Amino acid sequence: MRSIRVAVVGAGPAGIYAADILTKEHAEVSVDLIERLPAPYGLVRYGVAPDHPRIKEIVKALRRVLSRDGIRFLGNVEYGTDIKLTDLQRSYDAVIFSTGAMTDRDLDVPGVDLPGSHGAADFVSWYAGHPDVPADWPLEAREVAVIGAGNVALDVARMLAKPADEQLATEIADNVHQGLALNQARDIHVFARRGPAQIKFTPMELRELSHSPEVDVIVHPEGFEIDEASQQAIAGNKGVRLVVDTLLKHVDAESTDASRRIHIHLCQAPVEVLGEERVEGLRTEITELQGDGTVRGTGQYVDTPVQAVYRAVGYRSTQLVDLPFDQAGGVIPNTEGRVLDLDGTPIPGTYVTGWIKRGPIGLIGHTKSDAAQTAAHLLDDLDRLPVPESSDPDALLTHLADRGVEVVTWDGFERLDAHEVALGEAAGRERIKVVAREEMLRATRG
List the Cα angle 321/131/150 in 5-degree steps. Answer: 80
- Provide the Cα torsion 233, 236, 239, 241; round to 10°: 70
Rounded to whole angstroms, how far apart are CA atoms 333 and 390?
28
Rounded to whole angstroms, how far apart are CA atoms 372 and 383?
19
CA 301, 305, 310, 312 dihedral sign is negative
Contact 361, 378 (CB under 8 A): no
* Count of beta carbons in the 10 Å neighbourhood of residue 198: 22
List per-residue pLDDT tens for the chain, 446 residues long. Answer: 689 999 999 999 999 999 999 999 999 999 999 999 999 999 999 998 888 877 778 999 999 999 999 999 999 999 999 999 999 999 999 999 999 999 999 999 999 999 999 999 999 999 999 999 999 999 999 999 999 999 999 999 999 999 999 999 899 999 999 999 999 999 999 999 999 999 998 898 898 888 899 999 999 999 999 999 999 999 999 999 999 999 999 997 777 889 999 999 999 999 999 999 999 999 999 999 998 889 999 999 999 999 999 999 999 999 999 999 999 999 999 999 999 999 999 999 999 999 999 999 877 778 999 999 999 999 999 999 999 999 999 999 999 999 999 999 999 999 999 999 999 999 999 899 999 999 999 999 98
Rounded to whole angstroms, how far apart are CA atoms 229 and 441?
53
Q: Which class is 105-315 in CATH?
A: alpha beta
Fold of 4-102+318-408: Rossmann fold (3.40.50)
| Whole-prediction pTM | 0.94
SS3 118: strand
SS3 417: helix
Residue boundaries of the structural domains of the chain: 4-102+318-408, 105-315
**Which of these, 19, 14, 66, lies nearest to 39 by C-alpha position?**
66
The beta-carbon contacts of 284-290 under 8 Å, at least 24 apart in sequence, are 284/191, 286/222, 286/223, 287/193, 287/194, 287/223, 288/225, 289/194, 289/195, 289/225, 289/227, 289/229, 289/230, 290/227
* Count of beta carbons in the 10 Å neighbourhood of residue 213: 12
Max alpha carbon distance in the chain (Å)?
A: 70
